[in-house]
Amino acid sequence: MTDQAVDAALRRYHHEGPAPDPADLATIRRRVLARTAEPARPGRRALRTATVAIAAAVVAAGAITFWPAGPREETRPAQAMPGTEAITEAITDADSVPATVKLVVERVANAQPLDLGHGGFLYTAERALSVRTVTGKDGPASYVTEDVTERWSAVGEGTLPKLVRMTHGLNAHPLSPADGAKLAAYGTDYTKVTTVTADPATNPKYAPAAPPEPGLANPTPAYLASLPTDPGRLAAVLRAAVAEDGPGGDADRLLFKRVSALATTADALLPPPLRSALYQVLATVPGVERVPGQVDLAGRAGVAIAHTADGKRTEIVLDPVSSRMLGFRIVAVAAADGMPAGTVVYSATADQKIVEKPGEKK
Amino acid sequence: MLLAGTRADFGTVFDRHAGEIYRYCARRIGTDAVDDAVADTFVIAYERRARFDAAHASALPWLYGIATNVLRRYRAAEARYRKLIRHENETVAESAADRAVDRADASTAIRALAGELDKISRRQRDVLYLYAAGLTYAEIAVALDIPIGTVMSRLNRGRTRLRAALLALGITSTVLEGPA
């Protein structure tokens, strides 16, 4: 008997062992994240980072390991705060939007504001999965594709980017085998990966016509600090912005979108009282619902607050541990374009951190 | 390297590697305590993330090393589980009289391996389990923080013993080299 035969026996021994159920891993993940949760401390740069999880549906082959990195970050105390896991579970188990938001807000209240006084650049890395549909003689055919967008904006000047890098078409695959057959018949090349860099320093066409003003579309730390932290007054500011966009559309849905847009673009910049107020505004939008239990957003467990309109349910996904935004996703509530009801047509996660210069990631 | 180890990255690391770490731990100690062992592994990894050598391409061997240390706390569970495997596979082998012979032989092989793994030293066992999980010699060296030559000599000694045990049961290499 050869070494290879013994090796084969060993491998077989391993492969016939118990394999994890996704639910087992999700439970362990929750426990680990709860145990490693740490409240932000004064003076600590508690920014979330630019790495985004790979969607469970799209396993990126050969992805670079981003973590762990150098010794720059201080280590946390060995034991998690008592009760942290219980709060996370309570948030996950809450059965209404007001109950969820109340618990999340209590958690936000313990957070410390970030030190944004030293300038620098806000680096946002967003990973978005979307379903695209092309139509040919045999009807619609859909594929899933992934885009990564990296943006750098000067913290003091708002969130409009100074530099953007986009990569399109990553990990593209048909939504179903039937879609794959149609796409092949149509000759659609959906697997091409393209990268675009929008850098005003090298190409003037990307330079803004005028310096952008601080505002909801371009929040600066100073502008965010000027917003009311009373939920009723904040809702009035946001509703006024919706009205300024002109008539048309469902005002409640537009308010929901405004809240999610601000929470997403300025996530790392939000002072805790404003974050609390934003989430409380969310709870007052007519028609919002809590998605029961936890949802998986690109492999990260979160709790979702949803609003349904035009056959699509938009979900804002919060991290019950950190109370930060994980991202959002859009789910088709009815079958359409050959896609079954419940298809996640879009999901995005974004992470933000402060760096020194545009183009830097750490 | 994109970032210093923060919690968002940590979620990515968990998602990428937890399945493999689970299988490794479950193969050694069974499923009763595996959740605890895997959770402990990742909590310790998070606490020690500053000590991870960023020169390594992947965090996986390093995580296997932490898991191997964590599993030392489950020594009793591990021994119990190997006994269970021997027993379970006996049952399978007996009830499988009508099934394909190679299947029964493979069960016998699994039983034999569990029995033999019980008899060897823990240090040799660590190397064999990591090798079975698919790690290369170099990765095992990283995981256990031992020289690669030591990995090879422990593996060779382990192979010799396992080969003898399998041959004693009349198990042929054809069976073992077939698809799992």
CA distances, B158 to each of A182, B65, B89, B126, B131 (Å): 53, 19, 22, 10, 11
Domains of chain B listed by start with CATH number: 7-74 (1.10.1740.10), 76-177 (1.10.10.10)
Cα-based distances in Å from B116 to A226, B27, B111: 71, 15, 9
What pLDDT score was predicted for residue B75? 84
Q: Which residue of A4, A48, A76 is in closest CB contact with B8?
A: A48
Is residue A183 predicted with pLDDT exceeding 90? Answer: no
CA A76 → CA A26, A71, B10, B166, B168, distances in Å? 23, 12, 14, 49, 53
What are A237-291's pLDDT values in tens digits?
A: 999 988 887 666 678 888 888 888 888 888 889 989 999 999 999 999 999 999 9
Find the radius of gyration of the CA atoms of chain A. 22
The boundaries of the domain holding residue A246 are: 49-62+83-355
Check CB contact of A28 with chain B, cutoff 8 Å.
yes
More confidently predicted of B109 and A190: A190
- Name the phi and psi angles at B153, rounded to 5: -70, -40
Partner residue opposite A32 with nearest CB, options B39, B159, B173: B39
Q: Do A51 and B31 touch (CB under 8 A)?
A: no
pLDDT of residue A285: 92
**Is A8 near chain B, with CB under 8 Å?**
yes
Look at A67 and B176 and tell me if their CB atoms are within 8 Å: no
CB of A280 closer than 8 Å to CB of A305: no
Q: Is residue A330 part of a domain?
A: yes
Contacts 24+ apart (CB under 8 A), A306-310: A307/A252, A307/A253, A307/A256, A308/A333, A309/A250, A309/A253
Instruction: Determine contact: A62 vs chain B, CB below 8 A.
Output: no
Nearest to A12 among B6, B11, B180 (CB): B180
What pLDDT does residue A330 have?
85
**pLDDT grade, residue A205 (50/70/90)?**
low
Q: What pLDDT, on the 0 to 100 scale, is given for residue B27?
A: 92
Predicted pLDDT of residue A361: 85
**Higher model confidence: residue A205 or residue B83?**
B83
Phi then psi for residue A159, to 5 deg, are -105, 0
B-contacting residues in A 331-360 (Cβ below 8 Å): 351, 353
Query: So what's the pLDDT on residue A211?
Result: 66
pLDDT of residue B129 exceeding 90: yes
Is A340 contained in some domain? yes
Could B22 and A71 be called an inter-chain contact, meaning their C-beta atoms sit closer than 8 Å?
Answer: no
The encoded tokens of residue B11 equal 């979620």
Residue A33 in contact with partner chain B when CB distance is under 8 A: yes
Chain B interface mutation, best of A3, A16, A24, A67, highest count of B Cβ atoms under 10 Å? A67
Which residue among B5, B43, B159 sits closest to A73, beta carbon to beta carbon?
B5
- The CA distance from B143 to A240, in Å, is 58
Give pLDDT, residue A76: 33
| Site from B9, B32, B60, B129 to mutate, A interface, most A CB atoms within 10 angstroms | B9
CA distances (Å), origin B21, targets B17, B85, B114, B145: 6, 20, 19, 18
Nearest to A27 among B35, B132, B134 (CB): B35
Q: What is the pLDDT of residue A278?
A: 94
Q: How many Cβ atoms sit within 10 Å of the Cβ of residue B149?
A: 10
Residue A325 token pair: 């935004």
Among A75-79, A177-181, A260-264, A306-310, the minimum mean pLDDT is found in A75-79
Furthest C-alpha separation in chain A: 80
pLDDT over threshold 90, residue B140: yes
Q: How many domains does one find in chain A?
A: 1
List the single residue in B9, B14, B132 with the smallest CB-CB distance to A49.
B9
Nearest to A305 by CA among A352, A340, A259: A259
Cβ distance B31 to A71 less than 8 Å, yes or no, reads no
The answer to the question of residue A75 being in a domain is: no
Any domain includes A153: yes
pLDDT category, B172, cuts 50, 70, 90? low
Closest-CA residue to A268 (of A348, A349, A352): A352
Residue of A4, A6, A81 for testing the chain B interface, max B β-carbons within 10 Å: A6
DSSP-assigned letters across all residues of chain B: ------HHHHHHHHHHHHHHHHHHHHHHH-SSSHHHHHHHHHHHHHHTGGGS-TTSS-SHHHHHHHHHHHHGGGHHHHHHHHHHHHHHHHHHHHHTTTS-HHHHHHHHHHHHHHHHHHHS-HHHHHHHHHHHTT--HHHHHHHHT--HHHHHHHHHHHHHHHHHHHHHTT--HHHHHS--
Q: Are A48 and A40 in contact (CB under 8 A)?
A: no
The residue ranking higher by pLDDT, B96 or A64, is: B96
Give the separation between CA A31 and CA A28, rounded to whole angstroms: 5
Q: Whose structure tokens read 């149509």?
A: A186
Q: How confident is the model at residue B28 (pLDDT cuts 50, 70, 90)?
A: very high
Closest Cα of chain B to A4: distance in Å? 8
- Nearest to residue A334, comparing CAs of A356, A309, A357? A309
Q: Is residue A6 part of a domain?
A: no
Size of interface A-B (CB pairs under 8 A): 214
Question: Tell me, what's the pLDDT at A65?
Answer: 26
Q: Within an 8 Å CB–CB cutoff, is residue A3 touching chain B?
A: yes
| Chain A residues within 8 A of B166 when measuring between CB atoms | 1, 5-6, 9
Mutate to test the interface with B, among A2, A7, A14 (most CBs of B within 10 A): A14
Note the pLDDT of residue A127.
87
pLDDT recorded at residue B42: 92
A109 touches chain B (CB under 8 A): no
Distance CA(B102)–CA(B171), nearest Å, equals: 9
> Out of A3, A54, A69, whose CB is closest to B4?
A69
Give the residue-averaged pLDDT of B35-50.
88
Task: Give a three-class secondary structure readout of chain A.
Answer: CCHHHHHHHHHHHHHCCCCCCHHHHHHHHHHHHHHCCCCCCCCCCCCCCCCCCCCCCCCCCCCCCCCCCCCCCCCCCCCCCCCHHHHHHHHHHCCCHHHHHHHHHHHHCCCCCCCCCCCCEEEEEEEEEEEEEEEECCEEEEEEEEEEEEEEEEHHHCCCCCEEEEEEEEEEEECCHHHHHHHHHHCCCCCCCEEEEECCCCCHHHCCCCCCCCECCECCHHHHHHCCCCHHHHHHHHHHHHHHCCCCCCHHHHHHHHHHHHHHHCHHHCCHHHHHHHHHHHHHCCCCEEEEEEEEECCEEEEEEEEEECCEEEEEEECCCCCCEEEEEEEECCCECCECCCCEEEEEEEEEEEECCCCCCC
Measure Cα distances from A3 to B121, B149, B177 in Å.
20, 17, 11
Asked if the model's pLDDT at residue A46 lies above 80, the reply is no
CA distance to A108, A297, B136, per residue, from B129 (Å)? 44, 33, 12
ipTM of the complex: 0.84
Chain B closest CA to A312's CA: distance in Å?
28
Backbone angles phi, psi at B49, to 5 degrees: -60, -30
Residue A219 lies in a domain: yes
* Nearest-CA distance B21 → chain A (Å): 10
Most confident of A4-18, A75-89, A111-125, B134-148: B134-148
Bridge pairing between strands A312-318 and A325-332: antiparallel
Phi, psi of A323 (to 5 degrees): 70, 10
pLDDT at residue A111 greater than cutoff 60: yes
CA atoms of A182 and A136, how far apart (whole Å):
8
What is the identity of the amino acid at B25?
Answer: C
Question: Is A11's CB within 8 Å of B12's CB?
Answer: no
